[in-house]
Structures are given as C-alpha cells and as structure tokens.
Amino acid sequence: MLSLGNAFSREDVLEFVARIEQMLGHGGIEFSVEPKLDGLAISLRYEHGRLVYAATRGDGVTGEDVSHSVRTIKAVPLVLAPGSGWPEVLEVRGEVYMPRAGFHEFNRRARERGDKELVNPRNGAAGSLRQLDSKITAGRPLSFFAYGVGVGADGLAVATHGELMDRLASWGFPVTTERRVVQGVQGLHDYFTEIGEKRPGLPYDIDGVVYKVNRLDWQ
C-alpha cells in the first residue's frame, strides 16, 4: 500500500496531468476524484466472503494486525453481501475515521466523567484501532469508507474506478457520496474548489482530495 504523491498548487496538477497525457499519448483523460479522509488507512482481507484479517498500512509493506479492533466497527462488513460475485480472495482498502459528531460527543462525555479527551478525530481513530482491548474500540465512534481493491482486483471485470466503487457498495462497503468523474485539469480544479467550499460542513475531517485515472487499465 504505497503512499500518495502530493500536489500543492495548480502548477503541480498541470504537471501531473501532462505526465499522464504524455504516457498515454493523448489528452481528454477522465479522473475519478474523491475527498481524502483524515483517518487511518486499512487493508481488509476477505476469503470466501468473510473477513479474516485487517492490517494498517504501516510502512507500505508491513502493517500492524488490527483485526480484533476492526471487527467492532459496524461500517466494516464481516460477511459480504451474498450472491454478488465477489472473488474467493479479496483485499479491500479504505480509511477508518472518526466522524466529527462522534468525536465531539465522545469528548463531551469524557469531560463529564473527568476523563482524558481525544486531541482530534484522526488521532482518535488511530488510537482506538491500536487498543489491545477490543471492548474499548467498540465504545469509540469509528466508521469506514472503502476506496480501492488490492488482491482480487484482476478478476472483477470492471473497466473504471467508478464501476469498482459501485461494485464495492453492492457488497456492503460504504463509499463516499462525494466521489465524481471529471475530465482534464479544469475538472480537477473545479472539484478541488467544490470540496474546499463543502469542507467545513462535511461530517468528517479531510486533508485534501484524491485524483485517480478513472480507467483501471491506465492506472
């Protein structure tokens, strides 16, 4: 699970799109775009439709086993929707996060009890997953969004990232409703502006937006 490349200006985005157009030999590239949640990246391994393992991204190669904690998150399906064509082995990648409302409610109750408050939603999510006692994790307001597939992607017979997200949703995974398909630099810029305006009202923290080439065979 590699880390994402960063773009901090319109010029960086122009260079990003230009590299892709040069590599593919044409313009008019469609991108799948979505908010970048400020949480903790997780890999979920399913075998025969059942969750068998969950790990953090770690250094991209070796992560931390957090299966006991992830199983307590209601948004993570323990068993995939039946009869929907999932592969024998499937690795779903996504983000565990703490919704803003849950974060504020948790801290309100902590203040009433005289307990330590969480610093921010991201630290709250990461610390909750790393609890040795899964009962503590179960008491934390955690949620999950899926954003991709690792092992098992080759056999899904989908052509675009958007179709992949629809397939994950059909198996019971929550996916963001803020995802879009846009074209070219202007489409990326317009989406960035849109999410920037929506950011204060989103029910979760974000730390940017993610741009992916929509055609899976071009990624």
Active site residues: 36
Q: Provide CB contacts within 8 A for 55, sequence distance 6+.
A: 42, 43, 45, 63, 64, 65, 66, 67
Helix 10-24 crosses helix 184-198 at what angle (to 10 degrees)? 140
CB 86 within 8 A of CB 171: yes
**φ/ψ bin of 39: left (φ > 0), alpha (ψ from -120 to 50), beta (otherwise):** beta
Q: How far apart are CA 77 and CA 52, in angstroms?
A: 11
Q: How far apart are CA 117 and CA 106, in angstroms?
A: 8
